[in-house]
């Protein structure tokens, strides 16, 4: 019988939780300290023809700095597209490691820096390349589709790379071609794609430690207390939470919903970092965070990614000043992964999901 899903070993899951708990916290900076650091960073960005490409989950000081200096704040799809199209010599990726690696693989001639290259992702950690390669080798007639939240080595095994901003469209396209799909690594995003497209995939069973925590019972209670609120959910959340959503989509889709919908109140099931952009675009709307695991417990994320939180002004300055945190990718791996990354961007540009 065909194996339908590949579970993550308990030991690996425990190691991921431990790493999340051990992620370092950055010091809180005064406004004066922030202003001094920002001024220094701006000077170095100019001198080095460098741009900041930041994810919606990083600290608001970094998001505002990216925008003030001609960089970008975006979801992972737009981050990849912008990096590939930018004519800067250096790109500073404020986010997690897979985002830096993607930028490097698409632009090997550019210097790609990150404030902290140890900033990882539980989905990436939960899909080791060797084991994934074995799983794929058992099913040679399957098309391998991997989420962008994976290592360069896993992307090198894949036929397609997708993000939450294009996964539905790409899987629908593959389904129309009659292809059988291996999906990795996010089980919840996989659930959502299966439900929306009607396709059945062979699935890796990874999860995001942040989105996995959103809780159905507590969310229903919050909805009862706020009957007019619309529920916005990132598809890395559990299926029962996704079922309660009015809008499901990538970070960009959720931000757009707050901006464009007439409703005044929203319950948001994704990382809290997104509130900065939502509030900036819709200052008069009320945003409530969807409930996570018991808030009294020692929390490993509580709706904020411990690895996104490793990006700060101080380490951003050091990475530009001392060239620490440079992302390098083995050339053989890069060349293998490039095909699927290029295909993803070409598909997304043609589908009007990102700029041509
Ligand atoms: P987006 O591609 O929707 O920005 O999501 C990336 C991510 O890591 C969500 O946890
Ligand atoms: Fe990975 Fe989840 Fe953090 Fe996104 S929020 S980077 S999926 S651990």
DSSP code string of 147-202:
ESSS-HHHHHH-SEEE-TTTHHHHHHHHHHTT--EEEESBHHHHHHHHHHH----E
Note the pLDDT of residue 323. Answer: 85
Give percent of the chain with pLDDT exceeding 90. 91
- Are domains 18-122+308-338 and 211-289 of this chain identical in fold? yes
The Cβ of residue 167 has, within 10 Å, a number of other Cβ atoms equal to 27
pTM: 0.95
Peptide bond into 185 cis (omega under 30): yes
CATH number of 18-122+308-338: 3.40.50.10800
Q: How far is the CA of 163 from the centre of ligand 2 (A)?
A: 12
Identify whether the C-beta of residue 95 lies closer than 8 Å to the C-beta of residue 123. Answer: no
Taking the C-alpha atoms of residue 290 and residue 221, their distance in angstroms, rounded to an integer, is 10
pLDDT of res. 205: 93
pLDDT at 9: 83
Q: Which residues of the chain register pLDDT less than 50?
A: 1-2
Ligand 1: distance of its center to the CA of 187 in Å? 14
Walk across the sheet containing 90-94 and list its strands: 72-74, 50-55, 90-94, 111-113
Q: What confidence tens digit (pLDDT) does each residue in 288-344 have? A: 999 986 555 555 557 999 999 999 999 999 999 998 899 999 999 999 999 999 999
Which ligand 1 atom sits closest to the C-alpha of 254?
Answer: 3
Cα of 77 from ligand 2 centre, angstroms? 14
Minimum CA distance residue for ligand 2 atom 7: 208
Tens-place pLDDT, residues 126-163: 999 999 999 999 999 999 999 999 999 999 999 999 99
| All structural domains of the chain with their residue ranges | 18-122+308-338, 211-289
Query: How high is the pLDDT of residue 2?
Result: 47
Q: Is 63 in the pocket of ligand 1 (CB under 6 A)?
A: no
Q: Which ligand is nearest to the CA of 121?
A: 2
Calpha distance 86→174 (Å, rounded): 30
| pLDDT reported for residue 1 | 37
Q: Distance, CA 250 to ligand 1 centroid (Å)?
A: 6
CATH no. of 211-289: 3.40.50.10800
């Amino acid at each position: 019988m065909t194996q339908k899903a590949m579970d993550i070993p308990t030991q690996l899951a425990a190691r991921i939780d431990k790493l999340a708990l051990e992620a370092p916290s950055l010091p809180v900076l005064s406004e004066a300290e922030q202003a001094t650091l920002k001024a220094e960073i701006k000077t170095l960005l100019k001198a080095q023809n460098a741009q900041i490409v930041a994810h919606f989950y990083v600290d608001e000081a970094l998001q505002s700095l990216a925008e003030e200096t001609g960089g970008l704040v975006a979801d992972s799809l737009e981050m990849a597209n912008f990096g590939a199209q930018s004519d800067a010599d250096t790109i500073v990726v404020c986010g997690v490691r897979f985002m830096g690696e993607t930028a490097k693989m698409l632009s090997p001639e550019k210097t790609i820096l990150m404030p902290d290259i140890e900033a990882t992702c539980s989905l990436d950690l939960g899909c080791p390349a060797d084991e994934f390669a074995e799983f794929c080798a058992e099913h040679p007639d399957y098309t391998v589709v991997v989420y962008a939240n994976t290592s360069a080595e896993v992307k090198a095994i894949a036929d397609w790379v997708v993000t939450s901003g294009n996964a539905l469209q790409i899987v629908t396209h593959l389904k129309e071609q009659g292809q059988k799909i291996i999906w990795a690594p996010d089980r919840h995003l996989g659930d959502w794609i299966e439900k929306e497209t009607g396709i059945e995939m062979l699935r890796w069973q990874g999860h995001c430690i942040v989105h996995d925590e959103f809780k159905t019972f507590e969310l229903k209670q919050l909805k009862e207390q706020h009957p007019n609120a619309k529920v916005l959910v990132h598809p890395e959340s559990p299926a029962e939470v996704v079922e309660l959503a009015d809008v499901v989509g990538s970070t960009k889709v959720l931000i757009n919903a707050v901006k464009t919908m007439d409703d005044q109140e929203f319950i948001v099931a994704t990382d809290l970092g997104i509130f900065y952009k939502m509030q900036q675009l819709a200052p008069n709307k009320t945003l409530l965070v969807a409930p996570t695991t018991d808030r009294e417990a020692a929390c490993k994320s509580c709706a904020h990614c411990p690895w996104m939180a490793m990006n700060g002004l101080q380490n951003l300055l050091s990475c530009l000043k001392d060239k620490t945190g440079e992302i390098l990718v083995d050339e053989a791996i890069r060349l293998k992964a490039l095909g699927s990354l290029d295909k993803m961007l070409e598909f997304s540009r043609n589908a009007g999901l990102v700029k041509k």
